[in-house]
Structure 1
Amino acid sequence: MDKITSLVHWVLEVSASLKATGIHLIRIAIFIIFVWIGGLKFWNYEAEGIVPFVANSPFMSFFYTKNAPEYKDYKLKEGEFNKEKHQWHVENNTYTFSHGLGIAIMSFGILTLLGIWFPKIGFVGSGLVILMTIGTLSFLVTTPEAWVPDLGSGEHGFPLLTGAGRLVIKDTCILASAIVVLADCAQRILKKR
């Protein structure tokens, strides 16, 4: 029994020592996700895919020139090209907005990663990640495409998420992670004072 108790104690000690490593790994994960997703915003299929979220958002719809739900007539499947629909997206400011959003998202990821060495920069980065994920989670309320529509099966509405809704809900994990990183940066800043 003493060997088991010793083993359990050792596992707990090692696990407890991993806290700082885990927080740095969260920073790296946020960096990878944000640089990758932000980089994808420079591809037309990704820019076209976020249109329902942006067009229905009371906080972002002003970036587009066309009003919701007009975009529904100009949806493209991932990888599809249609000259008329593409031109609509050009006129809607779809691609320009997406490029700007991509730069912002990548910047937030980089700032968060820099928190490993510079807690003040990491504090700003993780704070921006928190604000962005709250904005993203608001799409669950503002985007009709986030919920399964009533198409006759009897399975629709809350809590049944579509692919778009499932894409958004994962931001709850990013939000929680960014709060942990923000708290770590704040503790490190206060410790230096």
Structure 2
Amino acid sequence: MEKITSLLQAVLNVSASLKGLGVHLIRVAIFIIFIWIGGLKFWNYEAEGIVPFVANSPFMSFFYEKEAPEYKDYKLKEGEFDKVKHEWHQENNTYGFSHGLGLLIMSFGILTLLGIWFPKIGFVGSGLVILMTFGTLSFLVTTPECWVPDLGSGEHGFPLLTGAGRLVIKDTAILAGAVVVLADCAQRILKKK
């Protein structure tokens, strides 16, 4: 029993020592996710894929030229090309908005990563990540495509998330991680004063 207690104590000590590494790994994870997802915003299929979220958002829809319900006639499957639909997306500012959003997302990821060395920069970056994830999570309320539609099975609506809804809900983990990183940056900034 004494060996088990000793082993448990050693495991707890090692685990407790990983907190600082864990916070840095959250920074790295946010960086990887934001660089990758932000970079994908320069590909047409990704720009087209975010249209339902942006078009239905009261915070972002003004970036598009077309009204929200119209996009449903111009949806494309990932990897599909249709000249008429592509032209509609060009007229809608689908690609221009997506490129700008991609640059913002990548910037937030870089600022958050820099928090490893520069806590003030990391504080700003993680704060921006928090704001962005609140915006993303608002899609659960504003985007009909987040919920399984009533197509006759009897299984529809809240709490049944579609693929789009499952994509959005994962931002709760990014939000939680960004709060941890923000707190770490704030503690480090306060220690220097």
Give the TM-score normalised by structure 2.
Answer: 1.00
Code of the aligned partner of 2:12: L
Aligned to 2:174: 174
Code of the aligned partner of 1:90: Q
The alignment of Structure 1 onto Structure 2 pairs a total of residues equal to: 193
Aligned to 1:147: 147
Distance 1:109 1:175 in 2: 13
Aligned to 2:58: 58
Give the superposition deviation at 1:2.
Answer: 1.3
Distance 1:169 1:91 in 2: 30
Could you give the per-residue CA deviations for residues 57-109 of structure 1, whole angstroms, max 9, x where no partner exists? 00000000001110000000000000000000000000000000000000000
Could you give the per-residue CA deviations for residues 21-70 of structure 1, whole angstroms, max 9, x where no partner exists? 00000000000000000000000000000000000000000000001110
Q: Does 1:129 align with 2:123?
A: no
Code of the aligned partner of 1:180: V
Aligned to 1:107: 107
Distance 1:146 1:6 in 2: 49
Give the superposition deviation at 1:125.
Answer: 0.2
Distance 2:69 2:51 in 1: 10
- Output the aligned Cα RMSD: 0.3
Structure 1 counterpart SS, 2:68: coil
Give the superposition deviation at 1:167.
Answer: 0.3
Code of the aligned partner of 1:178: A
Code of the aligned partner of 1:125: G
Could you give the per-residue CA deviations for residues 137-190 of structure 1, whole angstroms, max 9, x where no partner exists? 000000000000000000000000000000000000000000000000000000
Runs of 4+ in 1 over 3 A off after TM superposition: none
Distance 1:97 1:166 in 2: 23
Aligned to 1:16: 16
Structure 1 counterpart SS, 2:159: coil
Give the TM-score normalised by structure 1.
Answer: 1.00
Aligned to 1:49: 49
Aligned to 1:7: 7
